[in-house]
Structures are given as C-alpha cells and as structure tokens.
Amino acid sequence: MSRLSLAALLGVAAGLMALGTTRAQEKSPSQPKGGDHAHHFMDCAKACDDCARICEACGAHCTKLVAEGKREHLETARTCQDCATVCAAASAVTARMGPYSDAICQACADVCKRCGDACEKHAADPMMKRCTDECRRCEKACRDMLAHARQAAR
Amino acid sequence: MSRLSLAALLGVAAGLMALGTTRAQEKSPSQPKGGDHAHHFMDCAKACDDCARICEACGAHCTKLVAEGKREHLETARTCQDCATVCAAASAVTARMGPYSDAICQACADVCKRCGDACEKHAADPMMKRCTDECRRCEKACRDMLAHARQAAR
Amino acid sequence: MSRLSLAALLGVAAGLMALGTTRAQEKSPSQPKGGDHAHHFMDCAKACDDCARICEACGAHCTKLVAEGKREHLETARTCQDCATVCAAASAVTARMGPYSDAICQACADVCKRCGDACEKHAADPMMKRCTDECRRCEKACRDMLAHARQAAR
Amino acid sequence: MSRLSLAALLGVAAGLMALGTTRAQEKSPSQPKGGDHAHHFMDCAKACDDCARICEACGAHCTKLVAEGKREHLETARTCQDCATVCAAASAVTARMGPYSDAICQACADVCKRCGDACEKHAADPMMKRCTDECRRCEKACRDMLAHARQAAR
C-alpha cells in the first residue's frame, strides 16, 4: 500500500475514532481517548516517550564515557541523541493521532532498529543494555501501530 | 538563590552523580542512572513525558470540539499545545541531566499550573479531567526537582 | 541503496567532514561547519526550520478559522501541526549532522509533500499560500540532502 | 507584573492580532501573520530557530573535540544541547503565538545568556564564536518579545 493511501486510511480511522470517543469515555474515564484505535496510538506514543527518555540519558552517559577516554562510545552518543529526537517527534504526532503518524512511525521504527543494534554492542554496560531494550520495544510499538492502521483501513 | 548560582550547583550535583554512577549501576541494573540524584531527574522527566502526551491528545480533542461548534474549547486547544511543547523540552533536558534543567523546569511548572487551571474549568469532560490531573502531577514533579537541586547544593 | 548502507555512508561522510573541519573554519569563520558536505546539512536544516515555523503559524491560523466556523480548515490545522513537528526533528538531526539524517529527511520530504498538497487547496489565503511554498522548498531541500549523501557515498 | 497577568494580556494581544490579520495579509502577502504584534512573535521565533540550529551544530562540534581529548569542551557540549532544546521549544510556541510565549521566552533568554557565556570562553574557535553571537541575538529577541508583550498590554 502506498504511503498516500495509508494516509487517507489513517484519516478515515481518525474520523471513526472521533465518532467513537464520547461513549468510550463514559465507560472508561481513565483512558485519554476512547476506542481500540485510539489505544494503539497512545500505546505507541508511550513507547516512544519511554525510548526517547532513555536515549537522552544514554546519550549523556556515552558522552561522559567519551570524555573519560572511551572514544568507542562516540558512535552511540550520536545515535542515541538522534533516536531521542525522532522518538519524541513520533510521540507528539501519534499522541495527537496526527495524519502523518505513518511517516514518522516508519522513520522511528527504522531509527530504533539501528540505534538498538549500535547499543547492543555495548550491552555489558547496564545503561546501554536498557537503552537497547527500549529501542527494541519502541521499534515493535511503531511497527504494530503501522500494521494496525493498515488493517483498520481494509 | 539566583538562577546562576542554582545552575552552578546543578553542575556540581551532576558531577557527583557521574562519580556515583558506576557503583549504583552494579547494584540496580534496571535504573538508567545510578544514585538518588539521578532518580529525581528521571522521575521528573517521566512526569513531563506523561503530561506532554496527554496534552497533545487533549489539544487534538479540544480542536475537534471547536470544529463541532464548541468554540469555548479554543483556549485549551491552545494551552494544551503549548504545554505539550514545554513539557517535552523539559523531559529531554532533565533526562540528560542537563545543566539548564532548572530554567526549563521553572518554565514547565509555571506552564503546567496555568494549563491545569484552564483545563479544570471543563473537568466534566473525562479527557480534560485527565489532562488537569497530569498537569498537576507534572507541576509538582518539576517543583520537587527544583527543591531537590537546591537542597543537594547546600 | 538500502537505508542501512546509506547510513553507513553517511557515517563515512561525517567522518570526512570532521577531518576537514579545522582548515575550512580557518578559511571561512562565518560557516558553522567547514566543507561542502557540512553546507548541505546546514542548508537542509535551515529549510526545515523555516518550514516548521510557518507550519506552526499556519496551523494556529487554521485553528482560528475553524473556530470562526470554517470547518474545512480542520484538515490543514492538523497537517500543519504534524509537519511542524517532523520538520523541527529533521532540523535538529541534520544540524548536528546526525547519523540518522537519512531516515528523518525521508520522512520530512514525504510529510512536506503531503502538507503542501493539503495547503495548496486553500492557496487563495496568503498564509496558506506561503505555507505551501515553504513545504515545497523543504521537501526539495530534504531530497537534495539525501541525493548528496548518496552521491558522496559512491 | 505577574506572569499570570502577563499571560492574560498576551491572550488579549493575540485576539487583537487575529482581528487584524485579514487586512494586513491583503497588504503584505509575504508576511506569515499580519500586524506589528505578529511580527514580534515571528521575529522572535526566527531568532530562536537560528540559535537552536547553531547550538545543535556547536554541540556536535564540541562532542567531537571531547573525543579528540579536549575534555574542556564537555561543558559546552552539554550547554549547547540544552540551549538547542529550549530554543526549539520557544520557536514553536512563539511561531504559533501561543499563550505561554512569555514563560518559554523567559526560560530561553535565561538559557541563551548562560550558554553564550559558556561558549564565549572558547571564542577563538570560529564555531564557538558564532554560537556565542547567536545566543546573544536570541537572548535579545526573547527579551524584546517580552517587553513588547508587556507594552502592548498596558
């Protein structure tokens, strides 16, 4: 399916979600948006936020290691910083069920895969192990969101 | 205490945290950064992310209400959008234990107070109630972080 | 070329840039980074910032139009908001010549194309005309950046 | 003046700006928003974007210097990263003439002052000189915006 048609379908899904919001909210006031569709977006946004936060922390951790002479951490200092930026953007867009959720989640899944691979090489370090795990979780959440959007659009 | 001296103290605290990182990580590998100081920063960052996410969702919710003719939601459509932006910035800076955590947490506490007050006026709507609650929690987390930084610096 | 190999090549390019930085800076102190490679990144980042800024303004403009009863502007209120978020992320990543510049510029080009198309339908409105133009410029800047990175990697 | 009353006045100013938009746009279609008030916001947003972009580049530059053994650049690697984050948030909020422009511009002016001071110590390096200059410009733009908002509210 092309990105444009997926986008159109996302728009339809968003419309359906909006229609379903009131009743669902009456049933479960603790949910930010009613309906199963909305849950997919908020679950994805939460995974993106969790990953962005750890990536920021891990990037700072790696920068300190570099300053201590462990130059091999320069790569992950840079990948974690970028991954944090992309994850934060994906969180903002999906939390608002934005029309371009597909494009940013595609980029986010891609970036999380690559950052996870880079951090995994240093997985003996607990911080980097944790960052690897969050990158894997966020990659999966973004791919699930994309699959859900495609399925809902059929 | 002036912001500049608080900043200097934050820098000292960050240095102490860095020194304490290795041992703490051996004890609790599930923590992104060792030490009680670091916990304050990550707890604050998490509250900021949670608030940013709900504010994005609530801002989109309010925009839809405005489109349905409920013009009185324009104010919170705008406050939630700004609050989301400031909370996301505060999360990024505190997650990396950044030197300007104080300045952005001060702004974030201020903005969360005001956005929470604006949303509270519509608290019969479950989404706006939830957004109010998250704004209150994030405001408190930012104030706690500032108080902790001041105390640690004595 | 796959994204992963492009990423590897971007890494090589970044390394070369870093090596070339000192001398280039001596020659042109007004440049933030020396070398032609670096210019491509900063030019792209500037176009992304310009587009993000107009998209934020245009999104707010559309939200006001919606509040005045022009419900047909809801679509662009939402596309502009997302486009601003993705452009801002692309600016941050490319300005730091980040390793994931390729992934976020791909998403940014895609999103700018779609937001430009959505805004163009309302091009009689001067703000929306300007937003259309900036989206086109930013899309081109992102595609140029990607093409340059591929060429440099040969 | 308290922040809350300043915020109220910003809201009034925003309303006046909205009223003035149509005519001003007819006169100058190249402006993103009509009226002198709106110009102050967009000028501020542009200065924030310019500063954010150079701070990202300078932060990456400093991280590379640290990796080359110049550990004294760790401080500015960190200040530039935070400054970029806060400036980007200030750009987004002011570009949409957001109700919390005052709070984020206050934080941004503060952070730019401190980051400019930190970079100035290394002003023999052309990149750090340029970053210093942009921080000074952005600090001034934020203070001008705040002064304008106060004056407009009288």
The tens digit of pLDDT for each residue in C50-92 reads 999 999 999 999 999 999 999 999 999 999 999 999 999 999 9
CA distance D111 to D132: 12
Q: Regarding predicted confidence, which is higher, B150 or D108? A: D108
Of residues A78, A92, A110, nearest to C85 (C-beta) = A92
β strands within A43-120, DSSP E: none
**DSSP 3-state percent helix, strand, coil across chain D (nearest 5):** 85, 0, 15
- Residue in B closest to C76 by C-alpha: B63
Take residue D141 and report the two structure tokens written for it: 């733009």
Residues of D in contact with C128 (CB under 8 A): none
Mean pLDDT on A66-78:
98
- pLDDT range class, residue B7, cuts 50, 70, 90: very low
Say what the pLDDT of residue C96 is. 98
Mean of the per-residue pLDDT values for chain C?
83
Per-residue pLDDT for A30 more than 50? Answer: no
Give the residue from D66, D72, D73, D74 with the most A CB atoms within 10 Å of its CB, the best one to mutate: D66
Q: Which of D29, D53, D54 sits opposite C126 (nearest CB)?
A: D29
Give the pLDDT mean for A70-76: 98
Tell whether C79 lies on the interface with A, counting CB pairs under 8 A.
yes
Partner residue facing C77 (CB), from B63, B69, B71: B63
Q: How far is CA C47 from CA A147, D51, D52, in A?
A: 32, 14, 13
**Chain C contact set for D42 (CB, 8 A):** 53, 57
Q: Which residues of A39-77 are buried (b: 16+ CB within 10 A; e: fewer)?
A: bbbbebbbbbbbbbbbbbbbbbbbbbbbbeeeeebbbbb
pLDDT of residue A36: 79
Give percent above pLDDT 90 in chain C: 70
Instruction: Please check whether residue D67 is in contact with residue A71, taking contact to mean a CB–CB distance below 8 angstroms.
Output: yes
> Per residue in B44-72, pLDDT tens?
999 999 999 999 999 999 999 999 999 99
Question: Would you say residue A11 has pLDDT above 90?
Answer: no
In this predicted structure, the answer to whether residue B34 has a pLDDT above a threshold of 50 is: no
* Average pLDDT in chain B: 83
What one-character DSSP code corresponds to residue C33?
A: S
State whether A74 and D81 contact (CB < 8 Å). Answer: no
Pick from A80, A91, A9, A102: nearest CA to A44:
A91
Is the confidence metric ipTM above 0.85 for this complex? Answer: no
Confidence of residue D36 (pLDDT cuts 50, 70, 90): confident
B77 contact D CB<8A: no
**Nearest by CB to D66, which of A67, A78, A81?**
A67
3-state SS string for B43-98: HHHHHHHHHHHHHHHHHHHHHHHHHCCCHHHHHHHHHHHHHHHHHHHHHHHHHCCC
Q: Do B63 and C71 touch (CB under 8 A)?
A: no
Kindly determine whether residue C78 and residue A98, on different chains, have CB atoms separated by under 8 Å.
yes
Mean pLDDT, residues A76-95: 98
